[in-house]
Amino acid sequence: MNYTLHQLQIFLKIAELKSITKASEVLNLTQPAVSIQLKNFQDQFPIPLTEVVGRKLYITDFGEDIAKAAEQIINHVHAINYKTLSFQGQLSGRLKISSASTGKYVMPYFLSGFMKENPGVELNIDVTNKSRVIESLELNEVDFALVSVLPEKLNVNKVELMQNRLMLIGSTKLDLKKWRSKKQLFENYPLIYRETGSATRNAMEKFILKNNFSVHKKIELTSNEAVKQAVISDLGCSIMPLIGIKNELKNKDLQIIPVKGLPINTTWNLIWLKSKKLSPVAEAYLDFLDAQKDYIIKNEFSWIDF
């Protein structure tokens, strides 16, 4: 056996995602490079690690066992690296954060300075929808979660980061003069929704219900970026977080449609379980936020208050 740490990391990611294509994207490698490393790794075992049925990749039972062993090896390697840095007087360890999908426009700005100050810290961010974010927090898979709506059934601590403003957004190709009222616009022009489980969708549905709008033309997309591109192309309009459309507003690809009752204002909160024993890295990050949060908001997000 002569497999490398690099091959273990690649196989573990393939086993997690059940896809060579997705693994290559996450690892920032080309698909052929990942395929070659997988083949070189598999060739060292007398039993198959993967199998392809139809066009779908499956991990064999033996492959699952090897993936678990690979994860343990990689964790031990990380532990060695962290101990080395610790002896050198550097903060070291992992910081794991799960973020609601639109939080990707927020969270990096609150992490950049901390990561530059602490090069020994390894950052892991999972960007997904609200349901999965809460699940990862509940299962203790992450240190922190970024949400705009606090979970009702979990005991959590929180740090308020900044305001999240949701507005009705349309393409600049949309001629608002053709519509007699905003009610008519909501009820007759296509409305683009996020997928079920999205906090943005929940807020949008509550607003529509509160105003007794009857939506007849509905389109559902599974990411904020997909919704944004659909709105730009004039496929429909949508209620979206202002935070994610700065450049599109500046370039006049999108317009804010004034509607009574909007914007919907929520708050981005960084939350963690009250029962969780935070690592030194997580504690240090909270100290960083306490000292730098206001400065970051002022320098990076003052444009929101127009």
From 86, 116, 134, give the residue that closes a domain: 86
The reply to whether 68 and 27 lie within a common domain is yes
User: CA nearest 106: which of 255, 272, 268?
Assistant: 268
The reply to whether 52 and 185 lie within a common domain is no
What's the rounded Cα separation, in Å, for the pair 131 and 96? Answer: 17
Output the DSSP codes for 226-284.
HHHHHHHTTS-BEEEEGGG-HHHHHTTSEEE---TT--EEEEEEEEEETT----HHHHH
What's the rounded Cα separation, in Å, for the pair 51 and 48? Answer: 7
Query: What is the pTM assigned to this prediction?
Result: 0.67
Residue 203 Cα distances to 42, 96, 164, 239, 305, angstroms: 48, 27, 12, 9, 21
Residue 153 has pLDDT above 60, yes or no: yes
The reply to whether 225 and 180 lie within a common domain is yes
The reply to whether 59 and 200 lie within a common domain is no
The reply to whether 145 and 276 lie within a common domain is yes
Q: φ, ψ for residue 261 (rounded to 5)?
A: 95, -10
Give 175's pLDDT tier (boundaries 50, 70, 90): confident
What's the rounded Cα separation, in Å, for the pair 50 and 217? Answer: 44
Give 161's pLDDT tier (boundaries 50, 70, 90): very high
From 48, 65, 86, give the residue that closes a domain: 86
The reply to whether 126 and 243 lie within a common domain is no
Domain containing 11 — which CATH number? 1.10.10.10
Q: Note the residue count of the chain.
A: 306
Sort 220 into a burial class: Cβ within 10 Å, 0-12 / 13-18 / 19+.
middle
How many domains is the chain built from? Answer: 3
The reply to whether 141 and 272 lie within a common domain is yes
Sort 280 into a burial class: Cβ within 10 Å, 0-12 / 13-18 / 19+.
exposed
The reply to whether 9 and 73 lie within a common domain is yes
61-87 vs 5-17: helix crossing angle, rounded to 10: 120
Q: φ, ψ for residue 49 (rounded to 5)?
A: -95, -30
**188-240 per-position pLDDT tens digit:** 888 999 888 888 888 889 998 898 888 877 899 988 889 999 999 999 999 99
The reply to whether 44 and 96 lie within a common domain is no
What's the rounded Cα separation, in Å, for the pair 239 and 227? Answer: 10
212: left (phi over 0), alpha (psi -120 to 50) or beta: left
Mean pLDDT of all residues belonging to the chain = 88
Domain containing 222 — which CATH number? 3.40.190.10
231, 171 contact by CB (below 8 A) = yes
Residue 301 has pLDDT above 70, yes or no: yes
pLDDT score recorded for residue 49: 92
Q: Which domain holds residue 250?
A: 165-265
The reply to whether 133 and 151 lie within a common domain is yes
What's the rounded Cα separation, in Å, for the pair 126 and 17? Answer: 13
The reply to whether 261 and 271 lie within a common domain is no
Token pair in block for residue 248: 């599109």
pLDDT score recorded for residue 64: 92
What's the rounded Cα separation, in Å, for the pair 95 and 77? Answer: 16
The reply to whether 10 and 37 lie within a common domain is yes
- Cα-trace Rg, the chain: 23
**281-294 per-position pLDDT tens digit:** 899 999 999 999 99
pLDDT score recorded for residue 56: 87
pLDDT score recorded for residue 227: 92
